[in-house]
Amino acid sequence: MESSDHDLMLAVRTGDLRKLGDLFARHHGPLYGFFVHLTRDRDASEDLVQMVFYRILKYRHTYRDEGKFSAWIYHLARMVAADHFASRRGRQLHPATDETEPGWADLPDDSPSPAARVATADDLALLDRALAALTHEQRELLVLTRFQGLSHDEIARLFDTTVGAVKVRVHRAFCALRDRYHRLRRGPTN
């Protein structure tokens, strides 16, 4: 029987550091996706995932028996992301005209049809631009809810607020994304 994340983390907390490898295998991909969507930088995202696991090791004694492991790891991930953005403050993080910067359009697409790929790539490029135009908090909320699968309750604990407030913020973030996407899709009005 496979151990839960919580059981593995309890083992890490008590000194069985081999279990950290199991946690890494389970959470590397989702954390990497979280950071790619926040930073739009694949290389930095890989480094940030490593930093999260370094902090898990360093702060393993702070892990508590209540709550979910996923909420705790994303709390650490948010702190790592905040440190990353603070260290880059003053530099332009998401230039809208830099075509070499990875975005959603660079992610693999399993669609077999070339025509569908072209249409999807266009839509993803617009969605990427719309997402980049949101505030950092709005992007973070959308990534946590839709890509990382955290519940509103877990996000409320991360943001130290109520579930109701999280629901409102997520709704507003979706509305802002939708509005920005539709404006970009319509193009400039003359």
The rounded distance, in Å, linking the Cα atoms of 186 and 59 is 48
Mean pLDDT score, 150-169: 92
pLDDT value of residue 115: 56
Dihedral, 180, 181, 185, 186 alpha carbons, nearest 10: -30
From CA 163, how far away is CA 78, in angstroms rounded? Answer: 18
> Residue 18: what pLDDT?
92
Q: What is the pLDDT of residues 102-130, one digit of tens each?
A: 444 444 444 445 555 556 667 778 888 88
Q: Where exactly are the structural domains of the chain?
A: 1-88, 111-190
What pLDDT was estimated at residue 116? Answer: 53
What's the sign of the alpha-carbon dihedral 153, 45, 180, 112? negative
User: Please, are residues 56 and 76 in contact by the beta-carbon 8 Å criterion?
Assistant: yes
Which range among 19-33, 97-111, 127-141, 171-185 shows the weakest confidence by mean pLDDT?
A: 97-111
Judged by DSSP in three states, 33 sits in helix
Please, what CATH class does the domain formed by 1-88 belong to?
mainly alpha
CA distance 105 to 107: 6
**pLDDT at residue 98 in the model:** 42
Question: With bands split at pLDDT 50, 70 and 90, how would you rate the model's confidence at 71?
Answer: confident
Q: Tell me: the pLDDT tens digits for 1-34? A: 788 999 999 999 999 999 999 999 999 999 999 9
Return the CATH number of the domain spanning residue range 111-190.
1.10.10.10
Report which of residues 118 and 178 the model is more confident about. Answer: 178
Structure tokens at 161: 């607020």
CA angle 44, 79, 59 (to 5 degrees): 105
Q: pLDDT at position 141, please?
A: 92
